[in-house]
Amino acid sequence: MAVLQIGTIEAIRNKKTQLLDNWIKGLQASGATRNLKEHDLQQQTSEFINLLSAGLENGNGSSLAIGAWTDIRQFLERLSASRALLGHDSQQTASFIFAFKGPLFGLLQEHYRNEPEQLAEQLWEVSELLDALGMHTIATFQKSREAVIKRQQEELLELSTPVVKLWDGVLALPMIGTLDSQRTQMVMESLLQRIVDTGSEIAIIDITGVPTVDTLVAQHLLKTVTAIRLMGADCIISGVRPQIAQTIVHLGLDLQGVVTKANLSDALKLALTRLGVSVEKAV
């Protein structure tokens, strides 16, 4: 890693205010400060320069992997995670580091104006150091972003599989979109828990919003039905359109023992009948 002279480290420390001002101006010009509060930006840039100075003093000439650079690595990881939550992309996040190059290069040119060889050497070492920090920032940003996306997907799955109480003892689960193993598992867990919580006797799975039913989807449905029955409840599948019925027949799928209805209202009527409830229109 960087083999920097004491003069370079002292120049960074002594010209901190100048570096901060020019760095922040560069960040603002590049659009990397979107959704950031001015106070937070001031604090983050100042903390980075302090950690950079400490790392150079204790880990000069070493890899970023050693303990001397632990604090600045952890700082960049926290920064990347916060940028991911703010909706920044990798370019905006990496700009936090790369925008620091211009002000720092300008400072070194002033400091080594009479020593061109030293200037070239120090510019190279500083560039390598900032590139390594920038790459670490991008790598940790990608991990943070993937974690955010995964959590959002899980939240969407939960929102897309709501369990609704239609009547005392009757639950409905309207399915929308394609069924897969992960979603089926979440559906079963959510539905079974609601059966326990409400003591419901009948669960209706409405597949009106499921675009297609193939062998895999049918297997997922059968697993869910089996799990419901093991909990001591009955299951009705509604929303079996003509196209889906034809597909099931052509595929030779065995749905014997599974009660199906064309729509949710018919399924509810059957559920109420099984519960001994009679609903009549008011005269």
Residue 209 sits in a domain of what CATH number? 3.30.750.24
* Domain co-membership, 12 together with 145: yes
Residue 84 sits in a domain of what CATH number? 1.10.490
Token look-up 């890899």 returns 63
* Domain co-membership, 199 together with 67: no
> Number of folded domains in the chain?
2
Per-residue model confidence (pLDDT) at position 213: 75
- 269's tokens: 């009527």
- Does 104 reside within a domain? yes
Rounded Cα distance between 235 and 198, Å, is: 15
Single-letter code of the amino acid located at 124? W
Of 99, 129, 153, the position where a domain reaches its end is 153
Per-residue model confidence (pLDDT) at position 63: 65
Question: What domain range is 137 assigned to?
Answer: 6-153
For residue 161, what are the CA distances in angstroms to 33, 121, 183, 220, 227? 38, 61, 9, 14, 17
Per-residue model confidence (pLDDT) at position 2: 47
What's the mean pLDDT when you consider all of the chain? 84
* Domain co-membership, 66 together with 146: yes
Per-residue model confidence (pLDDT) at position 246: 81
- Does 283 reside within a domain? no
Neighbours of 145 (CB within 10 A): 20
* Domain co-membership, 225 together with 184: yes
pTM over 0.75: no
Low-confidence ranges of the chain (pLDDT < 70): 1-3, 59-63, 153-161, 182, 254, 283
Rounded Cα distance between 55 and 61, Å, is: 10
